[in-house]
Structure 1
Amino acid sequence: MIVVSNRPAHRALATYKKRWAIESLFGDTKTRGFNLEDTRLTISQKLELLLGLVALAVAWASKTATKLIGGGEMKRKKHGYFAKSFFRIGFDQLRKLLRSDPNAAVSPWILIPPIITRVV
């Protein structure tokens, strides 16, 4: 990988890692998961609610993957890349559990820490 920046090299790579995590999240919420780009919502309050629900769903899928994989290794293909993304593993498992055993699907949800917000 070649990263070009006007910042010091160590800072450029750290910044790129953060950006890549955000890009992966966008992919998970769009084409690789929730198809968020298909929404036709134009009312800001409804869009805010949808984005909040998607954020919770991503957290739930992540906790589900964490519980499923634990300390184990994710499967890799012959070329070395993971067979499925962390999100996809959790998302697929969550869909399976919601169909077959809803109570088991809820257990990772409990691991999501509560968010305390203040209205200003």
Structure 2
Amino acid sequence: MDFLNRKGIRYHIRIQNNFKVYLPRRQKQVPAWHLFNNLKVGQMRNYEHIVKVNGRLYYLSGTKSVSEGKLEYLILISYNKPDEALAYYRIRWQVECLFQGIKSSGFNIEDTHVVALDRLEKLVLLVMIAFVWCYLIGDYIDRQIRPIQIKRHGRRAVSVSKYGLDYLSRVLLPEYNRFNIISLHLLLYTKSKGLN
């Protein structure tokens, strides 16, 4: 954090709910969640004063949610522009989901034994194209044919990309193509989405 602060690099990083936060104006220390305890579920707020965490000055932003029946807080520390923190963090979460998709949720890119940089770049590019294709197929099936099941906790049973990957991996076998989608149509659908 010191390095980022010295260089003036913007960041929005999640901290644990129980991190001790020192409030200079009130001369007291409280757990971070305490500053966002009065929020309603789904409500977001940027704490109006600069605070100290581990002896360094930060801005705080937070929101409250319920996941699987438990109350959860998302609390971010920022170097500056705290009003952007939650929006940027949401984008970052999409990137995390992408990483999960190309790693453990189907493509297993971390299992590669490729070490030559130029080959690794090509491999990553191919996996990214395949990931986007699977996402578009999953999105098409979810919207047009059969929606993904929603679990009791309110989240999808599988991700959109995994839904497409599961179907695509089987559609190449003639006996499995239960939605009777012609593979060429999947390619044309991809092209219509601007991935030609």
Matched residue, 1:2: 74
Please name the residue that 2:149 is paired with: 75
**What is the aligned partner in structure 2 of residue 29 from structure 1?**
102
1:50 aligns with 123
Count of aligned pairs between the two proteins = 115
CA distance in 2, matches of 1:24, 1:33: 12
How far apart in 2 are the matches of 1:105 and 1:10? 45
Unaligned runs of 5+ in 1: 116-120
The structure number with the bigger radius of gyration is 2
Match of 2:187 in 1: 109
Give the unaligned 5+ runs of structure 2: 1-72
In the alignment, is the contact (CA less than 8 A) between 1:3 and 1:12 conserved in 2? no
Aligned to 2:12: none
Identity across matched positions, percent:
28
CA deviation profile, 1:30-63 (whole Å, cap 9, x unmatched):
0111100001111111111101110110011011
Partner of 1:88 in structure 2? 162
The 1-side partners of 2:115 and 2:126 are apart by 16
CA contact (8 A) 2:136 2:161 kept: no
Please report the RMSD computed on the Cα atoms of aligned residues, expressed in angstroms.
2.2
Matched AA of 1:85: S
How far off is 1:73 after superposition?
A: 4.4
Higher strand share: 2
